A and B are shown apart, each in its own frame.
Chain A
């Protein structure tokens, strides 16, 4: 059974470029979460969706970040324009969405480096 799939696994780009990260949640899961992890700030929730609808985007750092979930099996996180301070590991996670004690299953992450 496939877990959460993220692509690309590594991305190196130059400041000012657009970056798109992709996520395929576990089939049947209806909640999807985007996190960012850095040494300084730890693991931070950026945005989460339930049944493809954004529920809480209060963690999105600024307008340069946007996320979409056009269907139950795909989500994107876009950064435009990218800046060096966006360098981090970005994780996508999914869960059944049935309650507050649901297990969130994390994807392998995308390591983003902005030069």
Chain B
């Protein structure tokens, strides 16, 4: 059973600080990893994906992948109230099929 685990939170971060979201996965065959953001009552939207070890930056967002530790993280710099949402981690095991974690609820405190 391929699993993706996330801390459900809620995670509260002061505005302007760095929010750190973590995700672990069970299958070493996992190839690609995705972070989706989901606002309450809305559908998930892709923030970024990563498939190579190391860091990948996109604006205020940085994804980090450590395949040896089976660990993926998402850092949000200069957190804004608009970043308050549930963040879903997902893994692909070599095809288009994604396995999602249950999500971490993030609240940015003004």
Which residues of A are at the interface with B, using a C-beta cutoff of 8 A?
Answer: 31, 33, 41-45, 48, 50, 55-56, 91, 95, 97, 100-109
| Closest Cβ neighbor of A97 among chain B residues | B96
Which residues of B are at the interface with A, using a C-beta cutoff of 8 A?
Answer: 31-32, 42-46, 49, 51, 88, 92, 94-103
Evaluate contact between B96 and A95: CB separation under 8 angstroms. Answer: yes
12 A-B pairs (CB sep. < 8 Å): A33-B96, A44-B100, A45-B100, A48-B96, A55-B95, A56-B97, A91-B44, A100-B31, A100-B96, A101-B92, A104-B46, A104-B98
Q: A43-B100, A48-B97 are in contact. Are A100 and B43 (CB under 8 A)?
A: no
| Interface of B (DSSP majority class) | loop
Report the tally of A-B residue pairs with Cβ distances under 8 A: 54
Q: A43-B44, A106-B44, A108-B43 are in contact. Are A100 and B94 (CB under 8 A)?
A: yes
For the complex with contacts A50-B96, A108-B43, 12 further pairs of A-B residues with Cβ separation under 8 Å are: A42-B103, A43-B103, A44-B100, A45-B100, A48-B96, A100-B32, A100-B92, A101-B92, A103-B49, A105-B46, A107-B43, A109-B43
